[in-house]
Structure 1
Amino acid sequence: MEQAVVIEKVLNNNVIIAEHPTYKEVVLIGKGIGFGKKKGESIQLTEADKTFLLSDEKEKEQYVNLMPYIDEAFIDFIHDILIYIGKRMDQELNQHIHVALTDHIAFAINRAKQGMQFHNPFLLEIESLYPKEYQVALEVVEMINDKADVHFPEGEVGFIALHIHSAVTDKSLSDINKHYRLISQLTEVIEAGLDLEIDRKSVDYHRLVQHLRRAIDRIHVGENTGNENRLAEMLKKEYPVCYNLSWKLIKVMQKQLNKPVDDSEAIYLTIHLQRLTNKP
């Protein structure tokens, strides 16, 4: 049986916000679906090519304010991109990506057409931290370049990868930004402490970044990795430079994350740092 919803707002010829009897508000997208329609009218869900929920009041306001700045022909295309991302990641996307990524892509296209280049200083960190999201973002950028006849700078791949990661993990973009900035800071502390330069494209760097990411995740959930006092004492004697540096890193993490760090993190960090110094 077809289900009817009541039109709450016609955003343009192709987009309507409607009241759903079960899910509150839904966004209906379809070519010409809003043409000649008025608030209070009923419309069948089957008339839309695509629908998505919009339960957050703030996101609804953002979406409404965003519509006048987006070429109507692109609304369908951006929604196709979101479906593509969900399939490639093989995960349900958090609804906030509909607003956040639509906003980002629309203004990125405008920037590209005006020749404005945005540098992303954390591109290599993002690629190492979120390799699958980064690969999907590369594919999305290629789709946008073809469709919009623009050329996105490489930095946009990193920004889109962050949006994808946020949508599949339900982490806020501000938390994600904080984490990769912290990892970049920790890497610099390591390089200074061990007097070496880590190749940002090397396997060593990728392993380091993944280890630091897992440590940050453990700190966030307050995970205790066990008490290994004897091993800690042995590492302290065998590798004093790496052991002391591991505690320096822990203090940076405690300060930036404003959370306690389990002592056992020093063990794992020391072992990892020692691997870096042991390279031929």
Structure 2
Amino acid sequence: MKVSQILNNNVAVVKRGENEVIVYARGLAFRKKVGQVITEDEIEKTYVLDSTDLLEHFSYLLSHSDELHITIVNEIIAYGEEKLGEKANDYLSLTLLDHIGFALKRAAKGQFIRSPLTWEVKKFYPEHFAIGLYALDLINQQFQVEFPEDEAVSIALHFVNLQEGKNNLEETIHSMESLRDIISIIQYHFQLTIDEHSMNYMRLMTHLQYFIQRILTKNIYDESDAILNEQIKALYPDAYECVQKIRVYIREKYACELTTDEETYLMLHIHRITNRA
């Protein structure tokens, strides 16, 4: 591979086949010049971006980033990959480097952002939250800052987005907000606090996660078992009333109607968790 451009002391753009990639190696600029060959053994990390715009953006970001920022991002991603058992794409390096750089600038001014999703991420994505806490500990130690737990949530969401294979973070956030809202509707309707450590709670959460995903993908489950639905309504009228509130919520948020079978399964899950509670 030939060096096309030196971005800073440790980062360069190189030609690999027909494409250009970004490589990281400590002291690279002192050892290489444009046009010289660099081998795989000399490279510590390679970043492959899938568009020219991303390559240019990442090139600019890396050339203006502190070496310690890059090292910390690499360490966080390595930890996250091990924790989740999944290889991260190089776009994650770009978004995390950008995020951490901006967060540190905010911290220098004493500006710390509160996350509205702290509860959701802790409950629904504990492994991803653990990655965020790991990252937060690294950053706080290295830069002598004291980020609040909310910053761990923001970092965790980058890994949630990675693992769920979504094109943007907005869908992930909407899903978590909907889970929170539906649980709130159930607790408010029955005037109780659900035991979040119970097996029935876990079953309900799993059902709701797939339920919301089906709504988002327009893959609604409906075999129209009207007889079973009528039986469940008669047996569990409180659960039925609660589901009607969820129906209104889904209609207003997603412009979507609950099917007969979705209603039936929700009644069953809600009765189980509230009856046991």
Tell me if both proteins adopt one fold, taking TM over 0.5 as the criterion. yes
Could you say what secondary structure the match of 1:51 adopts? strand
**Counterpart in 1 of 2:126?**
131
- Alignment partner for residue 120 of structure 1, among 96, 115, 118? 115
Alignment check: 8 A CA contact 2:239 2:270 kept: yes
Alignment check: 8 A CA contact 2:128 2:159 kept: yes
Q: Which runs of 5+ in 2 are unaligned?
A: none
Distance 1:228 1:110, change over 3 A: same
Q: Which runs of 5+ in 1 are unaligned?
A: none
**Counterpart in 2 of 1:152?**
147
Alignment check: 8 A CA contact 1:96 1:167 kept: no
Alignment check: 8 A CA contact 1:13 1:32 kept: yes
Q: Percent identity?
A: 29
How far did 1:154 drift? 0.5
Query: Whole-Å Cα distance in 1 between the matches of residues 258 and 70 of structure 2?
Result: 45
Q: Which is further off, 184-193 or 211-220?
A: 184-193
How far did 1:131 drift? 1.8
Could you say what secondary structure the match of 1:133 adopts? helix
Distance 1:241 1:140, change over 3 A: same
Pairing 1:26–2:21 present: yes
Query: Whole-Å Cα distance in 2 between the matches of residues 99 and 271 of structure 1?
Result: 45
Pairing 1:252–2:249 present: yes
How far did 1:186 drift? 2.4
Give the structure-1-normalised TM-score: 0.84
Letter in 1 for 2:230: E
Pairing 1:211–2:202 present: no
Pairing 1:13–2:29 present: no
Distance 1:29 1:273, change over 3 A: same
- Alignment partner for residue 274 of structure 2, among 269, 272, 277? 277
**Counterpart in 2 of 1:47?**
42
How far did 1:163 drift? 0.6
Give the structure-2-normalised TM-score: 0.84
**Counterpart in 2 of 1:187?**
183
Q: Number of residue pairs matched?
A: 274
Q: Which is further off, 31-40 or 158-167?
A: 31-40
Pairing 1:94–2:89 present: yes
- Alignment partner for residue 67 of structure 1, among 54, 62, 65? 62
Query: Whole-Å Cα distance in 2 between the matches of residues 261 and 37 of structure 1?
Result: 63
Could you say what secondary structure the match of 1:119 adopts? coil
Distance 1:260 1:115, change over 3 A: same
Pairing 1:264–2:251 present: no
How far did 1:251 drift? 4.2
RMSD between aligned residues: 2.8
- Alignment partner for residue 224 of structure 1, among 221, 225, 237? 221
